[in-house]
Chain A
Amino acid sequence: MQAVLAQELSKEFSGVRALDSLTLSLPEGSVFGFLGPNGAGKTTTVKLLTGLLAPTGGRCAVLGLDPREQAERVHALCGVMTESARLYPQLSGLENLEFFGELCGMTRAAARARGGELLRRLGLGEAGKRAAGEYSTGMAQRLSLARALLARPRVLFLDEPTSGLDPESAQAVNALIGEQAGQEGVTVFLCTHQLRYAEDLCGCYGILDHGALLAQGDLAGLAKAAGRGSFAAFRLAQGETLPGCEGAGGWWRRPLACPEEMPALVRGAVAAGCSVYEARIETPTLEDVYFSFIGREEGGALL
């Protein structure tokens, strides 16, 4: 059974196509990074998959359940964190978690224990007693994440969980997400703009722009689809050149078909009498890949 399944999923808002025939299939246990510029349709997708919006076309399922028809069963298995889902300002952080824990069928004591533990993990141990209305943006964000994790969900939908967080909190949040992702069978659907974090956490990605899925796959697959290969790079002494390589800023580069080529290239450089200070394989980063897709799209639009 697929954790998340979308077939030709579309959503139109009074004439605006927010999502255009998204087809996606994520097996259980995958950690999926959903990337795309502002207005691409990421939040819309999460809301469709969690039953907050009804699709105007196509269908979707979470763990084989229809998020509209069987909303409460889907919600029992999913933890959802979206920016627009806030917590009660007059209740304290911990009371909020107690309340939502009870809604998930936990006893109040169990919800309290689990909530307290999550708050501590997210650096809100002390703040847990304060009214949520007094929280800063970043604190409220972490409280929302704690709420999403309360009932140990099997599928986690996170819409920009680290936007607006300071580096320390972002690290704590990412550590917690990483821990969830590492658990057996837990699927993570992560929408984010922070490509570095996504690269650390996710195993596969989808790149969305203007409601259309441009590419999907793991980093290597995406790099290939984007026509971005690896490079062998050498830093040589000043004034030296390496035949067959292009030089820039003291580094000499040539495309690398596979890592196995590298030792021979290093030997070649040494044999050619070069003073090799550094040699490394440069693989495309998620950022490189992302920009080649988004950039290409923009370029195409200009023509």
Chain B
Amino acid sequence: MKRMLLTLPERAIVRKDLRGVWHTKMVRVTVILVPLLLCFALPAFYLAIAWLAPEDQLATGDFVPFLPNGGEGMTARQMMVTLISQVLGPMFFLMIPLMVSTASAACSFVGEREHSTMETLLLAPVPLRRIFRAKVAACVLLALAAELVSLLAFSLVMAAGSLLFSSPFYFNPAWAVLVFLLAPAVTLFGVTFMVLVSGRSRSSMEAMQTSGYLVLPVILLFAGQFSGLFTLGPLLLLLVFAAVAAADAVLLSAASRAFTPEKLLKG
């Protein structure tokens, strides 16, 4: 027999959830608009500025502390491109898993309570753990898809940047850690955090608002580089990944333990 990652009933739940989540306007907007804005429109806009503004008006001196090798041998325009690709880009990119995963989890978990469908789902002959796993998987899948699209869009903009200013392509070890480790870890964090929060929220809107707090640490982490105290290189990002992954493990087990008929059906 072919072994599958998800059993057929679990797949049915994933399909149903993806459909339900997509059906919600707020989530659809988040999934389409946020990546478009953060990973395409904004970088493209900065790139356009770098290209159009007169070279001597680009205040590149301020960026020097967190450019590799202090930006030695770079033109002001190249510095600007590096700033977009290595400082702003990663920050924007990390917002995607966070926002999409929390939005879809709010919709999928709180929505089930809002529509009183959780009880029906619990009455199905599917073990509780599998229902939980399938619902988490649906949110993670959607977020990963949004990340992939964002990455492609960002790569497109940055490819144009390296062509225009003959600077190296943006992808480097730090980005590899970001894309393959940190982003998935943050996705899982967003989902499990939301599942735990959703227990207290009446509506998915309310749950979404709570998730706004999660964006703050990401901004602080990247904006912290402007203080000049640290630069988010691959090693530091690996460390951040380890911390998020540890938090994931804790949250996942807490969320899974809180996934009981009593807690889900109360109120």
A positions within 8 Å CB-CB of B = 50-54, 71-73, 75-76, 80, 82, 84-91, 99-100, 102-105, 147, 151
The reply to whether B128 and A71 contact each other, CB–CB distance below 8 Å, is yes
Complex Cα distance, B117 from A85, in Å, reads: 6
The reply to whether B124 and A75 contact each other, CB–CB distance below 8 Å, is yes
The reply to whether A91 and B125 contact each other, CB–CB distance below 8 Å, is no
* Contact pick for B125, options A82, A84, A105, CB 8 Å: A105
Distance to closest chain B CB from A133 (angstroms): 8
Given A99-B16, A103-B13; A86-B117 close (CB under 8 Å): yes
Please list 9 pairs of residues, one from A and one from B, whose beta carbons are closer than 8 Å in the complex, sorted by A's number: A52-B123, A75-B123, A75-B126, A86-B117, A88-B16, A88-B20, A88-B117, A89-B115, A90-B23
Given A84-B119, A86-B120, A90-B23; A103-B12 close (CB under 8 Å): yes
The reply to whether B119 and A102 contact each other, CB–CB distance below 8 Å, is no
Is B253's CB within 8 Å of the partner chain A? no
The reply to whether B261 and A91 contact each other, CB–CB distance below 8 Å, is no
B positions within 8 Å CB-CB of A = 8-9, 12-13, 16, 19-20, 23, 115-117, 119-128, 261-262, 265
Give chain B's interface secondary structure class: helix
The reply to whether A71 and B127 contact each other, CB–CB distance below 8 Å, is yes
Given A82-B119, A86-B115, A86-B120; A72-B126 close (CB under 8 Å): yes
Complex Cα distance, B265 from A73, in Å, reads: 20
The reply to whether B120 and A51 contact each other, CB–CB distance below 8 Å, is no
Distance to closest chain B CB from A68 (angstroms): 9
* Contact pick for A51, options B23, B116, B117, B261, CB 8 Å: B261
A-B complex: 7 closest residue pairs judged by Cβ atoms: A76-B125, A102-B12, A103-B124, A75-B125, A85-B120, A85-B119, A86-B116
Q: Which residues of B contact A90 (CB under 8 A)?
A: 19-20, 23
Complex Cα distance, B16 from A89, in Å, reads: 12
| Centre residue among B12, B23, B124, B126 by max chain A CB count within 10 A | B124
The reply to whether B125 and A87 contact each other, CB–CB distance below 8 Å, is no
Give the nearest-CB partner of A107 in chain B: B8
* Contact pick for A87, options B120, B124, B265, CB 8 Å: B120
Q: Which residues of A contact B13 (CB under 8 A)?
A: 103
Give the nearest-CB partner of A111 in chain B: B12
The reply to whether B125 and A103 contact each other, CB–CB distance below 8 Å, is yes
Give the nearest-CB partner of B119 in chain A: A85
The reply to whether A103 and B9 contact each other, CB–CB distance below 8 Å, is yes
Given A71-B127, A105-B8, A105-B125; A53-B262 close (CB under 8 Å): yes
Distance to closest chain B CB from A99 (angstroms): 5
Give the nearest-CB partner of A99 in chain B: B16
| Centre residue among A75, A82, A86, A99 by max chain B CB count within 10 A | A99
Given A52-B261, A103-B124, A147-B120, 19 new contacts (CB under 8 A): A50-B123, A51-B261, A52-B119, A52-B265, A53-B262, A54-B261, A72-B125, A72-B126, A75-B123, A80-B123, A85-B117, A86-B116, A88-B115, A90-B20, A91-B20, A103-B9, A103-B121, A103-B125, A103-B126
Q: Which residues of B contact A72 (CB under 8 A)?
A: 125-127
Distance to closest chain A CB from B9 (angstroms): 5
Distance to closest chain A CB from B107 (angstroms): 11
Complex Cα distance, B196 from A262, in Å, reads: 70
Distance to closest chain A CB from B143 (angstroms): 21
Q: Which residues of B contact A52 (CB under 8 A)?
A: 119, 122-123, 261, 265
Give the nearest-CB partner of B265 in chain A: A52
Complex Cα distance, B122 from A86, in Å, reads: 11
